[in-house]
Structure 1
Amino acid sequence: MSGTENPNPYGRPAGQSGPQWPDAAAQAPYGQAPDASAQAPYGAPPQGWGAPQQWGGQPGWPAAAPVPARRPGPINAAFWLIVSAGVVFLASTVLSALVATSDAGRRELEAAMTKVWGDYGMTPEQIREYQDMLPQMMPVMAGVMVAVGVLALLVYLLIASKIRGGSRAARTVGTVLAVLSVLMVLAPLASGQFSPLDLLWCLLGVAGIATAYRKEATEFMRLRAWERAARR
């Protein structure tokens, strides 16, 4: 063997055992960059493919689709309690309108208004004029009462459906309305006027909002907020 012959044709240093593969960059033709994909480790994307997405915390896989949150029992219970409160409120206003338009209701309202007008210092002639106007005003007042009941029912339905969908903002609005409903019921009770229907719709609404604050309902709303943020 001549002295110019390479004693180590595979590029292995003298005295080192074991095979050593040739360098890919050294084997590439002149003027051609080595293939980056050949140098990429197994399981990792080649260079130039962009930043890897995440799948379960592992790079190199597509993004995982969020699993829809399962609606718990307290959310469904809160929905039906709030809807029931709105229905009872509408029934209470319709019943009050029917009572107000009846003969007994008209006489009761006339007596109450006569006392109020007298307290304001009106003369008997002025009171008599207002009493003559009451029969014409009663249908209008009854229609306004029913319209308020229908509007309140729509608000209850909206809040209940939003809470069922996992909206924390709707739960906050429902909390404010529940506090106002308690004040609306306590004011007549303080004056000696008690209505079982008014007390019932108030208790149903408060119970529905309180149920929406249970741990399972709060966790469901938190997961739904994450789902909405992931879709943006």
Structure 2
Amino acid sequence: MLCTLTIHSVATACDEWAAMVVSVNGYVVVKDSQALHSSGATVQPDALICPGQQLEVGADSRAAIYLSNNSFVRLDQNTVLSFPSTQQAGSFWVELQQGVTHFISRITQRFGVKTPYANAVVDGTEFLVTATDSASQVSVIEGQVTVAGTQVNQPENHQQATLSAGKKAILSGKADIDIIDIATTETVDWAVYFPPAMFMDRLQQGANSEALAAAAGHLDQNRPDLAIETLKNLT
């Protein structure tokens, strides 16, 4: 018989955590890489995610996490994000299996996001990554991101491109990368825009889970103005 555990009983087993859960709305579980078919463990704010684990966000649910490389990530519904068991020295990678993730990053080391169709290496501060069965998309809101195709059946045709703010790359296993212009203000309509400098500083203090959860609640009520005010009150 499978049972559901609390994340704290699992996460404390790792000394070098990969991510910290900031807020949860709905159904979010974590699974070990060797037990992906299990029911997993439900997560709560302040829980730690270890290398080798995978976060899964259910339907009509969302989550926000803080990565150990000083990045903030919002995960939309039906998103699966994995954390490799090991990292190369001086780099930090996550693997987006499916779904939509919104990243705000203050880079302290090489940071990359792997998807089924693309790898994205980050040189910027805010970007969106989407993974589906048919394609991967990388949208840059601020800064710069380099993307490259990952389809193993066409290694000789792999292309790469460097995206600046206002650009989206679509990779679907073809030789070419489709790049289009986007309106950055519309790209993250499901997520509050957090001013990166203030937000990252406050996250590092590790004592703002209630305020962050309140901000997420305001967003669910379609009141991003109140969410931003909640975060401003942390200063």
Same fold (TM over 0.5): no
TM-score calculated relative to the size of structure 1: 0.18
The higher relative CO (CA closer than 8 Å, separation ≥ 6) is in 1
Larger radius of gyration: 1
Higher strand share: 2
TM-score calculated relative to the size of structure 2: 0.18
Higher helix share: 1
